[in-house]
Structure 1
Amino acid sequence: MTTVIETRGLTKRYRGGQLAVDRLDLAVPAGTVFGFLGPNGSGKTTTIRMLLGLIEPTAGSATLLGQRMPRAARAVLPEVGALIEGPALYGYLSGRDNLVRYDSADPTADPRTRRARVATALDRVGLTAAGSKKAKAYSLGMKQRLGLAAALLRPRRLLVLDEPTNGLDPQGMREIRTLVRELAADGTTVFLSSHLLDEIEQVCTHAAVMAQGRLITQGPVAELAAGTRGRLAVVTPDPADAARVLKELGLTGVVVAEDKVSADPPPPDADPADLNAALVRAGVRVRAFGVERASLEDAFVALTGEGFDVAG
């Protein structure tokens, strides 16, 4: 199988006319860590809910592990681990007993090895010490970890994670990224939805970008930004003067951050050496000068003409 997720014209229009997903054609290669990227409200979670058969599409089709959804849900979903919109937990039960409940609901799970599976899942997400603590006392980040542990109770061909680092501190985010890489190395395809561009760039091999319900682009992460010019960056002890000179030279989007001044890329016909010489002539002491490698955010802005609103 070359793709584990494939959609054709997938569309969801809610009552009242709201178009949440608009004719989505998506292809997720097997064995990848695939980032599903877009601002909050761009249609990511609605798409995932259709992929898993939780809601019916208005039009189009979705195939998971080679089988049509939601028709094949009973056969496919045991091979899929998922954490969608935060885990549903029994607050009065411990984290360990929550996982026992999840595992008991799986008709294919051997009850004789249940405790061992639960212990392994808790260990993989760093919750062994908190396993006996009631879930209602868990922080948001701990609940996210427990939900991920539930998705890992048995080997999965596909793991679908919706904002898996939500509520985690920086250390927790690093641990989840490491876990995702380990799962991919073991042969699991990971489909990871996020509104954090930096997270996608750090962990994903492939990505798709959504905006306002529509697919903007998809492909290997290294290629998505390859056609986009990165921002001009100047490191100097004279940032105010450097910003003034760049603006006078006609550059836009000038931003000052301590000793670094950045700006939108100059026109293709502009010689960076001339810009550097102009800064020096103006008395700006230049410690470093160049055009940075374009990021996914740069590519998103270039493709849509919009900023990436990570808060909304």
Structure 2
Amino acid sequence: MGDGPPSAEGAAGGDERVPARGGPVIETRGLTKRFRGGQLAVDGLDLSVPAGSVFGFLGPNGSGKTTTIRMLMGLIEPTSGTARVLGRPMPAAARAVLPKVGALIEGPAPYGFLSGRDNLLRYDSADPTADPRTRGARVAAALDRVGLTPAAGKKARAYSLGMKQRLGLAAALLHPRDLLVLDEPTNGLDPQGMREIRALVRELAGEGTTVFLSSHLLDEIEQVCTHAAVMAKGRLVVQGPVAELAAGARGRLVVTTPDPGEAVRVLKEHGVTDVEAEEGRVTGSLPGPGSGAGASGSEASGAEASGLAELNAALVHAGVRVTGFGAERASLEDAFVALTGEGFDVAG
């Protein structure tokens, strides 16, 4: 990883930190990777990750996420296109960039015959910038931060997948980082472990670290990320703030009534689509993208609330007995399905 000589750009000013405030921490242009046999894993990726964001890199398994991360970290070279990390070209400036990046890619691979603590001591000693006088304190702090202190003396071969995942995170956190790259960080963790890792990601972002988090779990992205990009079959489908991506999908109107047939007729006349009735409950897509996205009670914008009020009034005016009325906000899952026509694991 970056075993060649650094470029002039990478060698000069190696102690500089992230790009100017507001600039992208990761930026790719036409990034493409084609493997032997013609398999196109990443196809013309244009990606921009804002500084200070928690950026979710979202897509089903096999969509090109890990291949992209490996190119960004200089582990493999692209077939074509460019990638810049912390304002430097990769892989040419790997020696200047990688000391500022913590990464957990394709799962951790600890030395099984060493304890968790000894694994971290070994990783830290391999870092030429690490001060050996404070090594023990750094390792102890990293173990504590991921909840591994009680198992620090246990051989890594006896660790569960979730514990190995925590150990990999601890290794990425041995030093302060400008950028943290996490590939499926909650893989193998139980629900409590997932919550702890999500809380840790939020904490790191609050300290100023940009977090680039790859996942196939929509729920995970929606809970912790400020921005996201959606990949499908090697291509970028969309990217932007998570709230805007979700708002691009239509919300769902939900009406509870003992008069479902008449409610269906009225709603269709007023522009509600995909109307369905089932056991006294009528649902439909609100007219216009984003209508009802997050529009429920006080969360609705003035225009959205007015539109909902008009629908409710139309139902009442037609004699429909309304016992429940509201809008369910659009989720990231709704946006993904709307954009790609596909679905994937949304469990969190």
TM surpasses 0.5: yes
Q: Is the 8 A contact 2:54 2:225 kept in 1?
A: yes
Q: Is the 8 A contact 1:6 1:27 kept in 2?
A: yes
What aligned pairs does 1:1-312 form with structure 2 within 5 A after superposition? 1=19, 2-234=23-255, 252=274, 263-268=283-288, 272-273=311-312, 281=320, 286=323, 288-309=324-345
Alignment RMSD (CA, Å): 2.9
Q: Distance in 1 between matches of 2:340 and 2:247?
A: 16
In structure 2, relative to structure 1, the CA distance for the partners of 1:101 and 1:289 (3 Å cut) is same
Q: Deviations over 1:42-85 (max 9, x none)?
A: 11101000000111111100001111000111111011000011
Q: Deviations over 1:196-234 (max 9, x none)?
A: 111111111111111111111111111112232112335
Q: Deviations over 1:92-146 (max 9, x none)?
A: 1111111111111111111111110000000000111111111111111111111
Q: How many residues align?
A: 303
Q: Distance in 2 between matches of 1:57 and 1:262?
A: 50
Tell me the amino acid that sits aligned with residue 220 of structure 1.
Answer: P
Q: Is the 8 A contact 1:300 1:308 kept in 2?
A: no
Q: Distance in 1 between matches of 2:44 and 2:340?
A: 18
TM-aligned CA deviation for residue 272 of structure 1: 3.9
In structure 2, relative to structure 1, the CA distance for the partners of 1:242 and 1:109 (3 Å cut) is farther
In structure 2, relative to structure 1, the CA distance for the partners of 1:76 and 1:263 (3 Å cut) is same
TM-aligned CA deviation for residue 247 of structure 1: 11
Q: Distance in 1 between matches of 2:186 and 2:124?
A: 23
Tell me the amino acid that sits aligned with residue 164 of structure 1.
Answer: P
Q: Deviations over 1:150-193 (max 9, x none)?
A: 00000001000001011111111111111111111111110001
Give ranges in structure 1 of 5+ residues lacking alignment: none
TM-aligned CA deviation for residue 304 of structure 1: 1.6
Tell me the amino acid that sits aligned with residue 305 of structure 1.
Answer: G
In structure 2, relative to structure 1, the CA distance for the partners of 1:248 and 1:223 (3 Å cut) is closer
In structure 2, relative to structure 1, the CA distance for the partners of 1:213 and 1:261 (3 Å cut) is farther
Q: Is the 8 A contact 2:333 2:346 kept in 1?
A: no
Q: Is the 8 A contact 2:218 2:345 kept in 1?
A: no
TM-score, scaled relative to structure 1: 0.87
Q: Distance in 1 between matches of 2:98 and 2:282?
A: 47
Q: Distance in 1 between matches of 2:64 and 2:280?
A: 36
Q: Distance in 2 between matches of 1:255 and 1:62?
A: 50
TM-score, scaled relative to structure 2: 0.79
Q: Distance in 1 between matches of 2:314 and 2:107?
A: 49
Q: Is the 8 A contact 1:4 1:29 kept in 2?
A: yes
TM-aligned CA deviation for residue 255 of structure 1: 9.8
DSSP-derived class of the 2:336 partner? helix
DSSP-derived class of the 2:214 partner? strand
- Structure of greater Rg: 2
Q: Is the 8 A contact 2:41 2:234 kept in 1?
A: yes
Give ranges in structure 2 of 5+ residues lacking alignment: 1-18, 289-306
Identity %: 75
DSSP-derived class of the 1:126 partner? coil
